[in-house]
Amino acid sequence: MSDRVYIFDTTLRDGEQSPGATMNAKEKVRIASRLEALGVDIMEAGFPAASEGDFAAVQDVAAVCQKSSVAGLARTSKSDIDKAWGAVQHAKHPRIHTFIATSDIHLEHKLKMDRDQVVEAAVNAVKYAKSFTDDVEFSAEDGSRSDRDYLCRVFEAAIAAGATTVNLPDTVGYAIPHEFAELVKYVMEHTPNIHQAILSVHCHNDLGLATSNTLAAIQAGARQAEVTVNGIGERAGNTSLEEVVMAMHTRPNYLDFHTNIVTEQIHPASRLVRMITGIMVQPNKAIVGANAFAHEAGIHQDGVLKNPMTYEIMRPETVGLSKNNMVLGKHSGRHALRSHLADMGYVLSDEELQDLFIKFKDLADKKKHVVDEDLEALVSIGILRTSDKYSLDYLHVSAGTGVKPTATVGLKTNGDVLMGAEFGNGPIDAAFNTIAKMTGTTSEMLRFTVSALTGGTDAQGEVTVRLQEGKNIALGRGVDPDIITASAKAYVNGINRLEYLRDNPVISDKDVVENE
């Protein structure tokens, strides 16, 4: 059996199903380019049947990827498969990924189908997908809670119909590592034609065991791991790409497998996904958390100074944390900025560079040094935003002891600038009240978070807000040296994302009822 493990990244699909993490097409393309540089073998670009916006975004991703396979998700209906193929057909390496649930609880309560009907649906879907491309993946949703023999029967039928990859998902994060490994072994031993396909696993983190289950499955014979950057995803998230890859990289004596991942690209990919989705990474998150390579205890610091391996089992440089010696400031020119951005993985058009250069100069006037985190923020906010209905044009606040906090706001929309003013409990609340009245939003703020992008008193403030309007949840993000301005930008960004969701309603592959 080969020791090669294929990395199937679903950040753009399952990761996007994190509440509020909806990305526009340009943001998806930017992440896709980073994932390709990271070396993922397959990226699942979206669920084309979910919305016209998702269809278009998958098309855009398919058009730019030259090395990675691009997959579109589809239920077992012909209409879904047609949508998936329409979205990925121009990819250099297209894949159709079709799925249907196989657990009795899903058959009875969601699908209203018997076992024979599900097998028939799976076979028909794979055959139909195979008429478009040789690269077809079939997933048995809720596989970890399915009857073992029935699961083998479904996989055998799917492979016979032409599936080149069969996926065993732990859809609700129910499995325990030893149990999941035994299930993988059973499937390998009792599916007669399993050698004709790659067995994949897709684990969720509801019990905090996604990475452990994935590694156990790989040891048991699975050769494709379905993961997301930073472990983002529905509920408690998906298996973390960086954890699976670095576990194999760091412990080859026990996990003797290899991937095509360029580990030095892990941290840049993590930063980009965090900035675009607005989903913060907890400081003590393995591999990519802010504290992952920080040492505060004196004993630890002493040991690391003498030999980093005393308390670091991997070098920071291995995951892309090596520091660039080039310092950017207000005297830096376009060439230096373009070169530095290229080193970070951003290749911008002349128009994008010019727009970014203006923002860079404005920031450099406020900060002595502009660091990578600042540039990431400028790119993600200044370049990646598309089709925003509102933009912050003017903000003035008045607050202090004995003063009723007041905000005056100018919003640019459709080429016009609207002005408004309101009171609040504080300057930020006043700004939010003004923006809410001007935009007519009925959204509820679920969360408001403030952090600093870097250290130092001149650090840019980063604000994220989570807004809910009906069933739609959107994350808004704003960055500025002034925290009140950053807050206003974040709120406007969140409202723009809600506008996008209203125009591009999305359905979840976990919530739909299959009746084809």
Give binding residues for Mn(2+) as ranges.
14, 202, 204, 238
What is the strand order of the sheet 403-413 is part of? 391-400, 403-413, 416-423
Residue ranges of the annotated binding site are 14, 202, 204, 238
User: How far apart, in Å, are the Cα atoms of 415 and each of 140, 391, 395?
Assistant: 50, 10, 18
Cα dist from 336 to 119, 333, 343, 353, whole Å: 59, 5, 11, 11
CA distances from 377 to 211, 256, 347, 452, 458 (A): 29, 38, 15, 12, 15
Q: Cβ atoms within 10 A of the Cβ of 458, count?
A: 11
Question: Please, which residues bridge with residue 137 across strands?
Answer: 97, 165
Tokens at residue 511, please? 């919530």
The answer to whether 485 touches 46, Cβ cutoff 8 Å, is no
- DSSP string of 272-334, one letter each residue: HHHHHH--PPPTT-TTTSTTTT---SHHHHHHHHH-GGGT-SS-GGGGT-PPP-PPB-TT--H
State the virtual CA torsion across 510, 513, 515, 516 in degrees, nearest 10: -30
Query: Is the CB of residue 180 less than 8 Å from the CB of residue 217?
Result: yes
**Cβ atoms of residues 62 and 91 within 8 Å:** yes
